[in-house]
Amino acid sequence: MIHHGKRNVLGVSIDAMDYESAVAKILECARSGKRCTTTALAVHGLTMAALDRQQQFRLNSFDLAVPDGQPVRWALNLLYDVGLRTRVYGPKLMILVCQQAALQRIPVFFYGSREVVLHDLCERMPHTCPGLQIAGFQASRFRSLTRPEHRDLVKRIAGSGARILFAGLGCPRQEIFAYEMGEYLNMPILAVGAAFDYHAGILREPPSLIQDFGLQWLYRLLQEPRRLWRRYLIQNAEFVTLFILQWMGLWRPNVRNGQPPPTEMLYG
């Protein structure tokens, strides 16, 4: 297992770790009933946090923020020489956690996305992870929840018997969700992005070679150009600029510069 601790990349504390360490930490917390807010950060989420002090504060309060994107892994290796050989890709992390949850008989809950996606996800996951216990699922309402809805959701998840919660709401909504829900649930909460769509068979994952060369953003851009062009073309350039400034020592981002967000209505 590899875990070199947290490292500052663009003002966000990223865990320089591998899959094995991340899965072990998450399952340990699930068994003991402890919080473990977790996000798999790619360039989009990292750059957004670097430019938004409230999002920076949220992410720096997470128990785990793993390097989902290859450029984030490369940044860790170049800045800190940690020698990470693989990223910790959100969809793969979800499968590895579910496989261990199945073996250890730890129930899981899926929250987010659309009803049709969750239906397909719940049909396919027990085949991918034999023995997986799905304690419950609920689709996103794609808006802020009212206080009664918020209380009902907390009660539903806590009362389901689930000991791991997966959130698939897209960045940054899923991180806001995990940050807020972490105050109410003593269990790992994993923000896993497009993992629901991939594992439900809605989206097709890019070939391994494209992923290895850090071109997954281009593959996704070609799949959904209208929705993703701004995220990838503009924010990729922002990431490269900010990384070069930090790498050359022209900018020294501070992980303590985040601003606590106001009390928010939980996005759901």
Residue 160 has which token pair? 């389901």
Give pLDDT tens digits for 74-99: 999 999 999 999 999 999 999 999 99
First to last CA, the chain: 35
Taking the model in full, what pTM does it have? Answer: 0.91
Stronger pLDDT, 188 or 235, i.e. the higher one: 188
Beta strands (DSSP E) in the chain are 3-9, 12-17, 36-41, 64-67, 108-112, 134-138, 164-168, 188-191
Domain regions of the chain by residue span: 3-209
Q: Cα(109)–Cα(160) distance, rounded to whole angstroms?
A: 8
Helix ranges (H only) for 189-247 are: 195-199, 208-212, 216-223, 225-229, 235-247
CA pair distance 225, 174, nearest whole angstrom: 22
Phi/psi of residue 117, each to 5°? -70, -45
Residue type, 142: F
Which CA distances in Å does 62 have to 82, 123, 151, 228?
21, 30, 22, 26
Q: How confident is the model over 244-259, as pLDDT tens digits?
A: 999 999 999 999 999 9
Mean pLDDT of the region 120-137? 96
